[in-house]
Structure 1
Amino acid sequence: MASAAASASVTGAPCQQNAHDVGSNGAAVHSFKASNMVIEMSQTPKPKPEMTGLAFGTVFTDHMLTIEWSSGEGWQKPHIRPFGNLSLHPACSSLHYAVQLFEGMKAYRGQDNRVRLFRPMLNMNRMLKSAKRACLPSFNEAELLECIRKLVEVDQEWVPYSDNASLYIRPTYLGTEASLGVKRPSRALLYVILSPVAAYFSTGAKAVSLWADCKYIRAWKGGTGDCKMGGNYGASICAQYEALDYGCQQVLWLYGDDHQITEVGTMNLFLYWTNEDGEEELATPPLDGIILPGITRQSILELALKWDRFKVSERYLTMGDLQRALKENRVTEMFGSGTACVVCPVSRILYQGEALELPCAEDGSSLASRIMKELTDIQYGRTASDWNFEV
C-alpha cells in the first residue's frame, strides 16, 4: 500500500481479523487489534526541520500507520511502515465519490519531556461517527488510539521541543473500492500520518477578519456538516479565496433566511457578550447537525461551566443579533476555536457591505487569552489534567 523502502521488520502475533470487540456504545464490532501490529522501521531517517517559518502540514515524519479492510477478509494487521506514497486504483471510490473522512489531533511535548495527546478518545469517537455516515466499516476506538499512540512513540523525536509547536496527527479513512459504482465500498484503507507544525495562521495569534455572505453554504440540515469529511472542506475553498479578494482572512458561514451564524473558516465560533436579557454570556451555536462537534469547542464549554463566572449557552445566533449587540455596545469579544489554532480572536466582519468592528483586546486580558492559556497549560503538561493521554 505504501511505496517500498528498505526496512527492518518486527511482526506481532497472528491477526484475529474478525474477532469481536465492544465499541464505546457497547455494541459488538469487528476490529483490528493493536497487539497484532507489524512494525517496519525506516532505514533512511529524515533530518528534523527548523520550526521557524515552517508552513502548516508540509513536512512529514519517518513513519505512517496503515490498516486495510476488505469485505471478504475483514481487517488486516495494523502496519507501521516507512512514510511513502499510497497505491490506489484509478476507479477507487474515494477519488470519484468522496468516500473519505479524516481527523485532526496533536501530540505535545511538555517541559518534563513527556509527550501527551489531548482528549484523543473524543477524536476516535467522532471518527467512528463519520465512518458510519460514509458507510465505511466500524472499528474499535480504543484499538485505533493504541495504534496511534504506538506510531507517535516510534516517531517521538519528531514532537517539537517547544511550547509553541506540536506534532499534528492526521488519521484518514477512505474507500478503495475499485469500481465506478456508487455503493458501500468493499475495500477500505485507514491510515495515519504525522507532521510537525507551528502556528496554523501566518498571523500567529493575531485576530482575523471574516467575510460573512449567504452566497455559499457550508452545511445544511440532514447533510454531513457534523462529520469531518473531506468534501466539506474542499467545497469551501472557492469561498475562502473570495473572502481574500474582499480583504478578509476567513469565511463566516451563514445559514437560513435569518442568516444564522454557524462556523468560521474551519473553526467553531464563540460570542462573549451581554445578551438580550442583560446577562453576561458565552454563546456558541448548538450541535444541530450543521455544526462540527469540535474537541476544543467542547473543552471551552466545559472549562467555562467549571469557572461558573457567566452564563454558558449553546444557542442560535444571527447576524441581526450581532449587529444589534454591536450598536448597543454589548459585545465583549468573538473568537474561533479548533485543534489547529486552539483559539483565534475575530476583529472585523464584512457583512452586506458594512465592516463590523469587534472589540479585540491585545494585552492578554481577554477571555480568549485566558482560555488559550488554560488549554495550552493542560496540553503541554503545565497543568495536570485527566484530559491528557500520555504516549
Structure 2
Amino acid sequence: MEKVGNVQVSTHTTNWPDDALVRAHPFSCHNMFSLRPFRVFVKPFVFTGRYMSCFKSSDLNVKQTKNHKPIPKGDYGFGKIFTDHMFVVEWSRDGGWNKPEIREYAPLTVSPAMQSFHYATSCFEGFKAMRGRDGICRLFRPDKHIERLRKSAARLCLPDFSASELLECIKELIRLDKSWIPSDEGCSLYVRPLFAGIDPTIGVDICSKAILFVILSPVGAYFTGAQQGVALYADPQFVRSWQGGGGAFKLASNYAPTLYVQQFVKEKGCQTALWLHGPNENLTEAGTMNIFLFWTNENGERELVTPPLNGLILPGITRESILELTKSWHEFPVHEKEITMSQVLSAVNENRLHAMFGTGTACVISPVAKLVYKNKVYEIKGGPEGTKTVNRIYKELTDIQWAVNGPHLWTHPIDASR
C-alpha cells in the first residue's frame, strides 16, 4: 500500500462489493467493463461514521412549483423542452450528502470558477420512461444506467451513492411530472441525470463538493428519417478514444471534442462519424452509438457482430439488450469481436453485408445506408434478410419498452397514480 496525493493505491487484487461506498478504481478488471486486466486499485475517499451513508429517498423533500409550463403536443424535438421539476442533491467532503429534494426546474447558482466548467469533472446518463399500451409508465433498464453512472463517477473520483436510492428519487420526480409523459407513438420522457464537481476553484484536483441532479424532457425521434438509413463518414485521422483513456465511461469530456468532427462529416454529406482505432482501423462506435453488423462472415456463416468492450467503447444498455435478445433466438452466432474497416469493405464488395446499424438509448436503432471512406462512397444495399433481421430486433426491443405483450423484467413500472 502506498499513498499518492490523497489517493491510496493497492497493488493486490481485491473484490469490492458493487454497492459499497468505497470502490475499486474504474480500471479494476473485477467490477468494470472487461477492460485490460490492470491490477491497480484506487480508493478515492475513505469515509467513516455517518458520512458513509448515502442520501435516502425517504428524506426526499418535494417542493412543488406553482408556475406550471404549458405542455407541448406532438412536436417535441430532442432535449429542448423540460418539465416543471428537477431532482437535486449536493455532497461535500466535510459534510457528506445533503438531503435530496425535488424543486422547480430553474437555473443553478454556481461560481464562474466551478471546477467542472474548467476541467469537465462531470458525467451523465440518459434513459427513457415510456407510456405503455396499457397506460402504465415504465422505465427501461434504469438500474443498468444508474450503475453505469456510478462507474463513470468513479473514473472522475466523484463520491459514490446508492443506485436504488437514486432510482426511487427519480421515480418520484416522474410521478410528479406524470402529465409530461408523451402518449404519442414513438415518443418518450427522456431522463437525464448529471453528476459534477462544483468546487469554486481553478486548481486541478479531486473535487470536495459535488452536485447530482436529474432533469426530464419529452422527446421525439433523435435522427429524422433514421429508419431510411444514415450515412457514416470513416476517417482514421479522427480518434474518439484510446487504451487507458476514458472512452468506456459516459464523461462530458468525451463528447465536446467530437463536435468538430460532427460538423466536418456533415459538410461531407453524412450524419455522423464511424470511429476507427489503431493501425488495423478497428471499428469502435458510430457517432454516439454502438455499432452492429449482420453479415455472412468469411467462413460462409451468418453472424451478428459488434466490437468488444475493450476499454474503447461505451458499454451501451441498448447494445447489451440486443446481444441478450438475439442470443435468445438461437438462429445465428452472436459475437463481440474486433472488426476492421478492411473486413467491412470486403463484405460490402462481396455482397456479404446484410445490414449495418447503430444502437443507443436516444435512437434505439439507426440503420446505416452508406459509408464514406477515403473519398469513396460504399452503399450498404443489404437485402431482405438484413432488413427483416433489423426490423425484428427493433420491434421486439420496442415491444418490450412499450409493454406491447405485457410487463418485462427489463422494465420498471412507475405508479403514476400516486
| TM-score, normalised with respect to structure 2 | 0.86
Are 1:387 and 2:410 counterparts?
yes
SS in structure 2 at match of 1:80: strand
In the alignment, which of 176, 181, 186 is matched to residue 154 of structure 1?
176
Q: How far apart, in 1, do the equivalents of 2:164 and 2:311 lie? A: 25
In the alignment, which of 53, 58, 61 is matched to residue 35 of structure 1?
58
2:72 corresponds in structure 1 to 49
2:271 corresponds in structure 1 to 249
Q: How far apart, in 1, do the equivalents of 2:313 and 2:398 lie? A: 24
2:110 corresponds in structure 1 to 88
SS in structure 2 at match of 1:332: strand
Alignment of 1:6-155 (within 5 A): 25-28=18-21, 30-52=53-75, 54-155=76-177
Larger mean Cα displacement after TM superposition, 124-133 or 24-33 = 24-33
Cα 1:59/1:190, change in 2 over 3 Å? same
1:189 corresponds in structure 2 to 211
CA shift for structure 1 position 24? 6.5
Q: Is the 8 A contact 1:346 1:360 kept in 2?
A: no
Q: How far apart, in 2, do the equivalents of 1:204 and 1:278 lie? A: 30
Letter in 2 for 1:48: I
Q: Is the 8 A contact 1:109 1:163 kept in 2?
A: no
1:231 corresponds in structure 2 to 253
Q: How far apart, in 2, do the equivalents of 1:203 and 1:26 lie? A: 41
CA shift for structure 1 position 365? 4.3
Q: How far apart, in 2, do the equivalents of 1:269 and 1:365 lie? A: 16
Letter in 2 for 1:343: I
Letter in 1 for 2:70: P
1:318 corresponds in structure 2 to 340
CA shift for structure 1 position 203? 2.1
Letter in 2 for 1:249: Q
Deviations along 1:315-368, one digit per CA (max 9) or x if unpaired, are: 000110011111221110000000001001001000011111112559994322
SS in structure 2 at match of 1:378: helix
Q: Is the 8 A contact 2:355 2:387 kept in 1?
A: no
2:233 corresponds in structure 1 to 211
Q: Is the 8 A contact 1:271 1:282 kept in 2?
A: yes
1:274 corresponds in structure 2 to 296
Q: Is the 8 A contact 1:51 1:197 kept in 2?
A: no
1:332 corresponds in structure 2 to 354
SS in structure 2 at match of 1:41: coil
Q: How far apart, in 2, do the equivalents of 1:373 and 1:341 lie? A: 13
Q: How far apart, in 2, do the equivalents of 1:111 and 1:290 lie? A: 38
Provide structure 1 residue ranges, at least 5 long, that are not aligned to the other structure: 1-22
Letter in 2 for 1:145: L
2:40 corresponds in structure 1 to none
2:3 corresponds in structure 1 to none
1:16 corresponds in structure 2 to none
Q: Is the 8 A contact 2:152 2:250 kept in 1?
A: yes
2:318 corresponds in structure 1 to 296
Deviations along 1:99-119, one digit per CA (max 9) or x if unpaired, are: 000000000001211000001
Q: How far apart, in 2, do the equivalents of 1:362 and 1:339 lie? A: 26
Cα 1:362/1:338, change in 2 over 3 Å? farther
Q: Is the 8 A contact 1:207 1:360 kept in 2?
A: no
Q: Is the 8 A contact 1:159 1:167 kept in 2?
A: yes
Letter in 1 for 2:277: Y
Task: Please provide the CA RMSD for this pair.
Answer: 1.5
Q: How far apart, in 1, do the equivalents of 2:169 and 2:280 lie? A: 45
1:172 corresponds in structure 2 to 194
1:15 corresponds in structure 2 to none
Q: How far apart, in 2, do the equivalents of 1:365 and 1:337 lie? A: 15
Larger mean Cα displacement after TM superposition, 143-152 or 357-366 = 357-366
Letter in 1 for 2:71: K
1:19 corresponds in structure 2 to none
Q: Is the 8 A contact 2:354 2:386 kept in 1?
A: no
Q: Provide the identity percentage.
A: 46
Q: Is the 8 A contact 1:344 1:368 kept in 2?
A: no
SS in structure 1 at match of 2:63: strand
Larger mean Cα displacement after TM superposition, 250-259 or 24-33 = 24-33
SS in structure 1 at match of 2:64: strand
Letter in 2 for 1:179: T
Cα 1:275/1:62, change in 2 over 3 Å? same
SS in structure 2 at match of 1:205: helix
1:352 corresponds in structure 2 to 374
Q: How far apart, in 2, do the equivalents of 1:321 and 1:209 lie? A: 18
Letter in 1 for 2:54: S
| TM-score, normalised with respect to structure 1 | 0.92
2:365 corresponds in structure 1 to 343
CA shift for structure 1 position 369? 1.2
CA shift for structure 1 position 133? 0.1
